[in-house]
Structure 1
């Protein structure tokens, strides 16, 4: 298998299990890890008979047993296993790195920490950017720039229309409003509900570079821009670009020239009637399923952008209303069209889409007519039909759960709200009736895109819990999330590259991987299918021996193989839905804190408090001035020094003074190493051994000056990546870093650095300008300064620190300890 373990643990696993190749029992876990206060379960499975009566949770480094629990009742056979049971260690809440041991089976190492989901939603956006049509930032090139020519419209066939943009649907380059509008909506909802968990590392065009807009909102707007092109005016609405002639063979996106009109691709008008240019016709009966999706995405876009971009938002509102009217005038489903094969998105429901559209318009306009319309539509689909069923057609009940119920319930009261909550509960109970029969709590049918259904169902469970306050299905909700991250019979995460170092898809059915030999990070693959479905699909041939052969069964199969388009193809809409789910999990772990690459970079943004953070390595010329300022202003500080600093004889008096004053003193690395490349942040410049040794030396120096507790660590150069954060966590430390935006950290620059140099007055104005121009100001900020600077900087910013503290106090800010800001 592809996951990695520390050598000692690997040796232990080998001694106990004679290697994975000959093991008879396994422990399946969420490889990403578990929240300290969350549900924590693993699944033990065997090809033998005897189930363990208990299990142990061991600390990964010392192998010390930290928790012993009773295994659940045996659940019996499931998939490849002859016996299974659940291992519940939810009562253990201590952060750190651990592994589970049950009988002879040993799990991979995993973390328990409140930041295990931090940055994961942003990680998935890598795939969304890779899927962009028009300008593709991953390739730094453009594709499909001639789209397209119309079909089935009121205008003559082959009329040119500009619909360049949007996302490719999956590994092929078709583009559907059905999935793109749903993806856009989920990204917008993620931004609306969990803005604090997202970063700003990319510009609107998808290239690296912050633009003061959360990356998830940039990506959602890319979707909105394309949707506006697909609904360019009142009564004109298009449903898809290209068709299954696209299945011309694997290739990187380019100017496809096999549709009969040069590089243009067909653009299918929403005619409300069956379509299909070949022998296969869809069963379209109207346009409401597409129109409702258009309208809801536009409405939410308006609500989120009306202040930042009023003109654009007004256009979204206009199109939301016109799409709504088209749905009202032409009720029914608008299915996708094919030419060469019978494979289409055979959507059979549309009232859920119109319910969502009406609820969104009610939120936008406060017109109760929309609220009444939403309720009327809600009565026509109380429970999404596939919930509790063992099969369904491809995308038959899309978008897999009724999003309208949640949108309507959040703006309803009394009986209406309670009934909508009950509809969700009824659907969940239908799945639970099946799921509780097996150890994986699996109640999702193994149909095509089963992972998309899994994601959607977990969101429904989450929304039910939020709306009702009822945690009865929390274990079921978490089991569906865990399934996607490795707690499944195959023991693999279903997300490319997540977690780092885990068992994840490496050979997806994607031209980017097969042809371009690029990593396909962040994409959620289709997921397992029933074995009988797999055996009857056209054109599947594995390209290499099946590494999961031991875990295939008569129930379901999954292959990490480019030859299997049924289980291992990433999809854009499934990934976008998962962005919402992982953002919700990250938010639950972080509370109101903000993370970046596994490190906390901001505390509670709802509280008007901040902490002053100081770092030091070789210079400390500002030490006395800073200490005196903090004493006079009665302000606590957090100081992070390297081992070199702690061992420097000339620093000893200052260190003891800061300690006596009650300030926090922590680690900044021993030799001030640069851990990762400045341009390619994922590229490590140190090994794990080098990092651990350097960290250990830093903390040995801290201990020597009499500091016994220093749980927070600030990386050298204030630069790190997910691996550094994980390694720090494994050492029992929480990585923290400064909150970006103010430019306060530029106080180290000196004139010889040219354009990088910032004077103290510039820095002072920048901090106050940020405070006045950003929502939340400096709430929860870790405001970083340096305790000393290069002698070439004569304009020392610490001399302006008293004025800055007074100015911020006058604005109502409380200067708090690091513990207070991060709690």
Structure 2
């Protein structure tokens, strides 16, 4: 990746007129002004803070605020050393196109259907992976696994990953429905059900096919036995599809997301909502019958993404919470209480650590006289975690909640998960500081970082151009498929090109925009999904 010659780090998309507006400087500048793009008329002057050393970026930074500037327009910030920022907008809702782009990315990741020019533009492709898949270990047993989303830069489809992504999207819609009033559009757009629910239904319909109709258990994933080459387009990936064995993690995550979906879709399609709930309860029966089931391991002949998990209490906790929330049945409440006594993170929102989804569902159901003690305890834990994140933000040069150790594989998921949690905490502790901190996380994602790079393809003056994403590599289009969040800096340098080129770099600079960097520059559905949640908050009408 070429170094971007810019000394002013800013959100390259822009800032809400009434929101907090900051820039981060890495030069000796003590002041700055803001001018209108085009006319160069100066509309604001400000001072920067004293320099402070930022450990994660390994540099001294200064901050400058300009929240008082509230006139809509497009501007450029110029520091007193003459360094110019990228242009940025001030609008009431500057993230409308970004919001559509982050959601549209899921359409581009659809499997099993032709993406035609009307909706996909120049990034379309033919239908793919439409053949039946064989059930691993059951010779001669073939099932339909058509549909859903490709998980990431590869073409695998993984239940635990899909459940996390759909949960983020459904939560975004449930909490911020006014962010979804505009159509993207999608082939299914009907001006009745919001497009986000049409898109989630694509994945849910696929997940139905992952449930073993004989037992209620859920196959862990549907992939080929090995990853195809990086330039292979979806329709050219013709190796045999394999349903990997049933796992407890997949089955519990499936039960959770189907129970959640049942509540959301009940307004629009009663029959579909009932189908979701029946399948969730069937999966729960499998969980009860297989208490000894452990984490998933790849069969010896399969080398695609494993999505292994050493702790399954959090998946079961989440499933019990969603089933209780949906049905109000005491058997699920009792199970939730039982799992809540186990030791696992109760506020995490990852694909492996899903306890936060259980906690959020339980709290959003509401406090009763019966559950007051547990409710208060979980609420206190959620707010305590938000406060912990806030304290990290206050000591970070870019105002985000990542410490050096958090710049790992998928650091941008950690970033957006934490911004998501800060916004969710507002429901029980409405502190403006949480919103300001969440906004800083979004600013970072969109360019206010030490690399001055927007980590969302197609959005920002300097954005990711070479994601580890097979269609973006294999098509004949120079620009990558837009709206996709890259994994971000990874201090562990877990791929060959990172290890070769980034030795000695600070944590927040341990990133290269290169298609071979699967540990830093891959895209996934569950990196996009928390980003969409956060942008939804700021895109409400």
TM-score normalised over the length of structure 1: 0.58
Equivalent residues in 2 for 1:511-590 (5 A)? 511-518=470-477, 519-530=480-491, 533-534=492-493, 537-538=495-496, 553=506, 556-587=509-540, 590=541
Inter-CA distance 115–158: structure 2 relative to 1 (3 Å threshold): same
Q: In the alignment, what sits opposite 1:354?
A: 316
- Judged with a 3 Å threshold, the aligned counterparts in structure 2 of structure 1 residues 80 and 579 are, in CA distance, closer, same or farther, namely closer
Does 2:100 match 1:122? Answer: yes
Distance 1:93 1:381 in 2: 47
Q: Does the C-alpha gap of structure 1 residues 489 and 197 become closer, same or farther in structure 2, counting only changes over 3 Å? A: same
Alignment gaps of 5+ in structure 1: 3-18, 259-263, 273-286, 388-394, 591-823
Q: Distance in 2 between matches of 1:257 and 1:134?
A: 12
| CA deviation vs aligned residue, 1:136-159 (integer Å, no higher than 9, x gap) | 42435311111311114xxx3441
Cα distance in 2 for residues equivalent to 1:541 and 1:225: 40
Alignment partner, residue 143 of structure 1: 128
Q: Deviations over 1:703-732 (max 9, x none)?
A: xxxxxxxxxxxxxxxxxxxxxxxxxxxxxx
Is the aligned partner of 1:398 residue 2:358? no
Q: Is the 8 A contact 1:27 1:44 kept in 2?
A: yes
What is residue 296 of structure 1 aligned with on the other side? Answer: 256
Deviation for aligned residue 1:538: 4.1
Corresponding residue SS for 1:475 = helix
Q: How many Å apart are 1:469 and its aligned residue?
A: 1.1
- 1:108 Cα deviation after fit: 1.6
Q: Which residue of 2 is the match for residue 408 of structure 1?
A: 362
Match of 2:380 in 1: 422
Please give the alpha-carbon distance, in whole angstroms, between the structure 1 residues aligned to 2:346 and 2:398. 22
Match of 2:243 in 1: 267
CA distance in 2, matches of 1:195, 1:148: 37
Q: Deviations over 1:466-505 (max 9, x none)?
A: 2211233333322211111111111111111124xx2112
Query: Could you say if the C-alpha distance between residues 204 and 376 of structure 1 is closer, same or farther in structure 2, counting changes exceeding 3 Å?
Result: farther
Q: Structure 2 CA distance, aligned partners of 1:77 and 1:460?
A: 24
Match of 1:503? 462
Q: Please give the secondary structure, in 2, of the residue aligned with 1:97.
A: strand
Question: 2:455 is paired with a residue of what secondary structure?
Answer: coil
- Aligned counterpart, 1:737: none
Q: Does 1:92 align with 2:69?
A: yes
Question: Displacement, 1:333?
Answer: 5.3
Query: Are 1:242 and 2:220 an aligned pair?
Result: no
* Cα shift readout 1:620-664 (whole Å, capped 9, x = no counterpart): xxxxxxxxxxxxxxxxxxxxxxxxxxxxxxxxxxxxxxxxxxxxx
Q: Distance in 2 between matches of 1:336 and 1:116?
A: 44
TM-score scaled by length of structure 2: 0.86
Q: Distance in 1 between matches of 2:305 and 2:109?
A: 21
Question: Residue 14 of structure 2: SS of its match in structure 1?
Answer: coil
Deviation at 1:192, TM superposition (A): 2.5
Tell whether 2:186 aligns with 1:187: no
Name the structure 1 match of 2:24. 43
CA distance in 1, matches of 2:384, 2:198: 36
**Alpha carbon RMSD of aligned pairs, Å?**
3.1
| d(CA) in 1 for partners of 2:289, 2:49 | 55
| Among candidates 366, 382, 406, match of residue 328 of structure 2 | 366
Is contact 1:448-1:527 (8 Å) kept? Answer: yes
**Cα distance, 1:447 vs structure 2:** 0.8
Aligned 8 A contact 1:99 1:108 in 2: yes
The residue correspondences of 1:115-514 to structure 2 (distance < 5 A) are: 115-137=93-115, 138=120, 139=124, 141-152=126-137, 156-198=138-180, 199-204=182-187, 210=190, 212-233=192-213, 234-242=215-223, 245-254=226-235, 256-258=237-239, 264-270=240-246, 272=247, 287=248, 289-331=249-291, 334-335=295-296, 337=298, 339=301, 344-381=306-343, 383=345, 397-399=352-354, 402-413=356-367, 415-444=373-402, 445-499=406-460, 502-514=461-473
Residues 672-728 of structure 1, C-alpha deviation per residue, up to 9 Å, x if partnerless?
xxxxxxxxxxxxxxxxxxxxxxxxxxxxxxxxxxxxxxxxxxxxxxxxxxxxxxxxx
Q: Kindly tell me: are residues 266 and 440 of structure 1, through their superposed partners in 2, closer, same or farther at Cα, counting changes over 3 Å? A: same
Higher RCO, 1 vs 2 (CA within 8 Å, ≥6 residues apart): 2
Measured in 2, the distance between the counterparts of 1:150 and 1:340 equals 13
* Aligned partner of residue 344 in structure 1, secondary structure: coil
Specify the alignment match of 1:610 in structure 2: none
Q: CA, structure 1 residues 490+325, in 2 after alignment: closer, same or farther (shift >3 Å)?
A: same
Partner of 2:10: 29
The answer to whether structure 1 residue 57 and structure 2 residue 34 are counterparts is yes
Alpha carbons 1:383, 1:426 under 8 Å: kept:
no
8 Å contact 1:336–1:344 — kept in the other structure? yes
Distance across 1 between alignment mates of 2:187 and 2:322:
25
Instruction: State which structure, 1 or 2, has the greater radius of gyration over its C-alpha atoms.
Output: 1
